[in-house]
Each structure stands twice: as structure tokens, then as C-alpha cells.
A and B are shown apart, each in its own frame.
Chain A
Amino acid sequence: SQQGEEDPQALSIQEGENATMNCSYKTSINNLQWYRQNSGRGLVHLILIRSNEREKHSGRLRVTLDTSKKSSSLLITASRAADTASYFCAGGGGKLIFGQGTELSVKP
């Protein structure tokens, strides 16, 4: 069973624009993580936000968490063509359960 649902399922933007992806989850979590997956590759951890945090930054990434709404968002600022990938949120209380992913395409 999937823990989260990402929205949108697919997003296409131009280089330099910002990309926002949303995630809703079902059960209580200890933390929520975002991963990136390039085509044909494994997943790579991007950022983790704990359940008692509301916002976190890492480079061009900004993550928010609203536990009352069971939702999170990932913002990638000043996107690059190299950001083209699928992005997954994952939450859990001991084991990570992944969402369906958002496929981001950044056109040069």
C-alpha cells in the first residue's frame, strides 16, 4: 500500500522556473523524506523533515510539513535541466512507505 500521494503526477517547466510538488500521506509519521530517482537508477535521498518541524531548506530545496493536514511540499528553485527526474515523498514510523511520485521535466 502507498503511504503518500504526490501531486501533480507530472510537471513540465522551463529552466530557471520553480517547481513545486505536493505530497499527502495517510498515517502518523516520525519524519517525512523526499527522494529523487533518475530514469533507470536507484533513489537518492534529498531531504528529511521531522514531524516537529514545519520548514526546512537545503540548497535550492525547500520542504514544508503540515502534520494537521498530513501534507508536505517540495519546492525546487531556479530549476535546471539536470533536475529532470521523478520525485517521491516517503513517510513512516519505523519503515518508509513511498508515494507514487511526481515526474518532473525541466526543459532547457
Chain B
Amino acid sequence: EAGVVQSPRYKIIEKKQPVAFWCNPISGHNTLYWYRQNLGQGPELLIRYENEEAVDDSQLPKDRFSAERLKGVDSTLKIQPAELGDSAVYLCASSLDQGGTSYTGELFFGEGSRLTVL
């Protein structure tokens, strides 16, 4: 079974340019997360989706960041315009429905998208 797939793996852009990251979660996982991980730090939650609904976006900088999860499967995270401080690894993760009987609490992560803003 395929894991969480993210693209692109690496992206280098000039500041003020837009950038988008794509995530395909594990089939059957209703919950999807976007985390940002700065160098030497732990991941920080940006947004969490239950199906197509964003249930926690309190840490998402909404002036420049946006996310969507149309049809409750794939998700896209966009930054426009990018700033130097946005350089980080953007991690997508998925899990089973937290309310379901099969929920174990385990998150499955993709390999991440490393963004460098020059």
C-alpha cells in the first residue's frame, strides 16, 4: 500500500514568488495534517482537515498561506508571496478518523517538501 505522497520534494524560489505543495494521503485516511518543520526543530501544525473541513487552522498564517482539500482526499498548501522566513520542510501526514473504532492515534508522514526561499 502506498504511503503519503508529497510533491515536489524540493523547491527553490525567489522571495515574493508563489509556491504550492501537494499531498496525497493514504487511502481511507480521513484526517490530513500539514506541518512545518524548521531546521533543528520539531514539526509545528499548520492545519488539520477532517475530510474536506479544516477543523484546526489556528496556526496557519492566513495572510499568505492557504490550503484546500477538495473532495476530502488530496490537499494543496500554497504560500503567496513567499518570504525568506518560510524556508522550511513542509510535511503532510494522514491518519484514520479520530472518532473511528480503528483510530490508533498514529500519524503517517510523507517525505516532506523542502522549500528554500532566496
CB pair A43–B105 under 8 Å, yes or no, is no
Size bracket, chain B contacts: 20 to 34
The one of A45, A48, A95, A100 in contact with B45, judged by C-beta atoms closer than 8 angstroms, is A95
The one of B41, B98, B111 in contact with A42, judged by C-beta atoms closer than 8 angstroms, is B111
- In the bound complex, how far is the Cα of B114 from the Cα of A35, in angstroms? 20
CB pair B41–A43 under 8 Å, yes or no, is no
Q: B92 — nearest CB in chain A belongs to which residue?
A: A42
Q: List 14 A-B contacts (CB under 8 A).
A: A31-B105, A42-B93, A43-B91, A43-B109, A48-B106, A88-B42, A90-B42, A95-B56, A98-B42, A99-B42, A100-B41, A100-B42, A101-B40, A101-B41
Which residues of A does B touch, CB under 8 Å?
A: 1-2, 4, 30-31, 33, 35, 40-45, 48, 88, 90, 94-101
Which residues of B does A touch, CB under 8 Å?
A: 4, 33, 35, 40-45, 48, 56, 91, 93, 98, 104-112, 114
